[in-house]
Chain A
Amino acid sequence: MGIRNIGEPILQIDDISLSFGGVRALQNVSFDVREHEVRAIIGPNGAGKSSMLNVINGVYHPQVGTVTYKGETRHRVDPHDAASRGIARTFQNIALFRGMSVLDNIMTGRNLKMHTNFLQHALWVGAAKREQMAHRRKVEEVIDFLEIQHIRKTPVGRLPYGLQKRVELGRALAAEPELFLLDEPMAGMNTEEKQDMCRFILDVNDQFGTTIVLIEHDMGVVMDLSDRVVVLDYGCKIADGKPDEVRSDQAVIDAYLGVAH
């Protein structure tokens, strides 16, 4: 692996609490994510991991706490705003357009960066055409990067699960994010697909310097990939540190294996 310069915190989570009715999904959670690092969020089912990602990109609005991204502190983040400021994400269950080709799906990741309007595209006038070509080039770079040239024109619904996951990663990449949120990118994959996915995540981090926050259950993957790990359990942060430290933390072991209460 290459030498990355892990820099100052790019994202600061301060004292976030989130409730749905009586359920307290997150309680006073604080941590930071530094520029260029791979940060993992782990925890048992229902620990609040996905909720945390949803808070970061503004799908959920916490009752208490702030999110500071690139020096701007907000209480409420707007998803559209988050996306335009360089936060991209993938989902736990695949959220692609099944009837559209791989190419078109990834193209949708460029949506926010398109400036010509619907009418211009419909008429296929000069500006729209030029813009389309520039975006297509970006998308082709992503396709090349993820080694999915052979399925470029295949409808996504016809692809095996592992490749669909890769396409989803591609769509997020097409947005050229600075902060990349991955919600269980390896769930349901076989060993080989996992290895491929790990390599792509490391490559994204290494080549584009993208900061990555990922949720993952496979401990082997987490230990190999991440620079720092934050552990949630019942909505609370119970540990935070380097993979080795976290692994030997008694609270974490208890959370995962369960203890007699």
Chain B
Amino acid sequence: MAEQALDTFPRLFMHHARIRGDRPATREKDLGIWQTWSWSEAAAEVRSLACGLAQMGFTRGDNLAIIGDNRPRLYWAMTAAQCLGGVPVPLYQDAVAQEMSFVLDNAEIKFAIVEDQEQVDKLLEIKGRCAQLRHILYDDPRGLRHYTQDGIQSLDEVIESGRIYDREQRDFLDGEIAKGRPGDVAVMLYTSGTTGQPKGVCQTHASFIMAAKTGCEFDQLGPSDEILSYLPMAWVGDHLFSYAQAIYAGFTINCPESGDTVINDLREIGPTYYFAPPRVFENLLTQVMIRMEDAGAIKRRMFRYFMDVARRCGAEILDGRPGVAAGDRILYYLGNLFVYGPLRNVLGMSRIRVAYTAGAAIGPDLFRFYRSIAINLKQLYGATETCAAVCLQPDGQIKFDTVGPPAPGVEVRIADDGEVLVRGPVMLKEYYKRPDATAESIDADGYFRTGDAGFFDEDGHLKIIDRAKDVGKLAGGAMFAPNYIENKLKFFSYIREAVAFGHACDMVCAFVNIDLGAVGDWAQRRNIGYSGYTDLAQKAEVYQLVLECVEKCNAELAHDPVLAQSQVRRFLILHKELDPDDDELTRTRKVRRGFIAEKYRVLTEALYSGKPSQFIETQVKFEDGRAGMISAELRIMNAKVFDAAAARLAA
């Protein structure tokens, strides 16, 4: 067969099967043992599955729903659909049936490949509403032996009949693969849709291959790299890292045994390339800290001593920056021997060359911790519509509060209102069957509106501050980004939630929720008695504690050329915890700023009128559904603000 241009995923896949057929492509831990499929074995599976699907009537232009945990066969199903010119549509496996029915209906799904009984049951529940859905193919037969409904079939059977077909008519699939064009839609990822219905983002082979190429060249990823694939397959991050980049560079993906075993599996595989949202890194760190508390005295002292060394110079050494004293270098070397190395091993991160985090703001302390023990953790920025590849932090130029310069080949522009605009080969082709939404999100010059507000700092690194619709202006005209300030406050472990106000006002004020666990523990160690959240929140000592946090946050803001005016002048600690049950937070724990401002109007008025305290009474819903009242006299405190010009001079 003549070598074709490697411009679609099936052609790349078959290319790897030819040139590195014996190298591992996919691993999965099954029955306690890591099973490996080489590229040629994996390619055979893909071919059989594709032929099996074709025999059942799956053709060019059809969409294939894929629902389940990260399983080799589900990844192969994506390639199989692409071989036939179809489009895989991965869905979030933990979505309830009702949520799935919209996507299945919208994408006119006829074929669904699912992991197990749980997903089959969900699809059967909504089959009546998804008129087109005809075939449900399952991977794991457990519990499904007695299902007699039409259209339910084991993936094994499909692959088996496909295998025979492929053997007899070798040309069929080769012909189908040859028909693929780089401009064809490669995958459809539905955006979660916080407002309105989810939208199907159509990405072509060309754009995802470009995104993969950029990332692989940027970090020199090659066939010898290993990644653990454990994030939802429907998420653009997993699709880029575990699918597009793996098939582009030819590295190995490892599927964990189950969601509960990820930490063990991570340790066994020791990936060289790793991706996780900040929350995962935070949990890992918390576990380490808790276990260190239980360690013996010598170990604890060693840990504390060398972590101080790491904090002082670890990140600098990793970045290769000059100016680290020779003494520190020697101490760091020893620390690496006794503490950092073993710690990386426990975390399963001994072999990591590059780790990324994205999806939410990461706390500077958390970020520095990993970098200081020589784990090359970096941030990236992107969206489903841009193949998750807009900005990447290059090695050696890491700042915790920016997401790095634009990736090669991607143009980023800041609109007049501060919105980040992106243009380049990684952009979406369209929203599926939504020309109105497509037109709305791409401006006249061909830039995609990300909906995020940000700016470039002096080194040309993009700094994302907030969702564009939330960004306002202070009465003085300075930019006001509530989410940015709230995140800064929330990085302090004592502060659980914060709500910043200031749009069209002359100053920024904030509500704060203390973290009952962290502050409660702090109070206990100081012998401060309290009866519950409301009581603890109004203690003078607690106010002092939070004041210190707010002033530290102000001091940092003073350094910021754009947001120096957004320093928090007055704040109060709320008498109750913000709660989704009271509609104050969304289910994903985002503050509903407008609702809160309205509900606690007396408090915002008191903040801006300069009163020292304010009485409030609020109705709350308890967990058992009863309603009750909480009332308190809330103190309001002034925080010190720092002179922006002086701060910059000092820096």
Q: Interface on A for B, CB 8 Å cutoff?
A: 1-3, 136-137, 140-141, 143-145, 147, 149-150, 152-153, 203, 206-207
Contact = CB atoms under 8 A, between A and B. Distances in A.
A141 B31 contact: yes
Contacts of B33: 140
B3 interface: no
Given A137-B31, A140-B33, A152-B32, A207 B143 contact: yes
Chain A to chain B: the 9 pairs with minimum beta-carbon distance, closest first: A2-B146, A150-B260, A140-B31, A140-B32, A150-B261, A149-B257, A149-B261, A149-B258, A3-B146
23 contacts: A1-B146, A2-B145, A2-B146, A3-B146, A136-B32, A137-B31, A140-B31, A140-B32, A140-B33, A143-B31, A144-B31, A149-B257, A149-B260, A149-B261, A150-B258, A152-B32, A153-B264, A203-B142, A206-B143, A206-B145, A206-B146, A207-B142, A207-B143
B116 to A, nearest CB: 11
A152 B264 CA distance: 10
* Max count, chain B CB within 10 A of own CB: residue among A1, A2, A136: A2
Given A143-B31, A144-B31, 15 more contacts: A1-B146, A136-B32, A137-B31, A140-B32, A141-B31, A143-B32, A149-B32, A150-B258, A150-B260, A203-B143, A206-B143, A206-B145, A206-B146, A207-B142, A207-B145
Nearest to A137: B31
Contacts of A152: 32
Contacts of A145: 142
Interface of B: 30-33, 142-143, 145-146, 257-258, 260-261, 264
A145 B258 CA distance: 12
Contacts of A137: 31
B348 to A, nearest CB: 15
A134 to B, nearest CB: 12
A207 B258 CA distance: 21
A150 B32 contact: no
Contacts of B260: 149-150
A147 B258 CA distance: 9
A137 B33 CA distance: 9
A140 B258 CA distance: 14
Contacts of B143: 203, 206-207
Contacts of B30: 144
Contacts of B257: 149-150
Contacts of B142: 145, 203, 207
Contacts of A150: 257-258, 260-261, 264
Contacts of A141: 31
Nearest to B30: A144
Nearest to A145: B142
A140 B257 CA distance: 12
Contacts of A203: 142-143
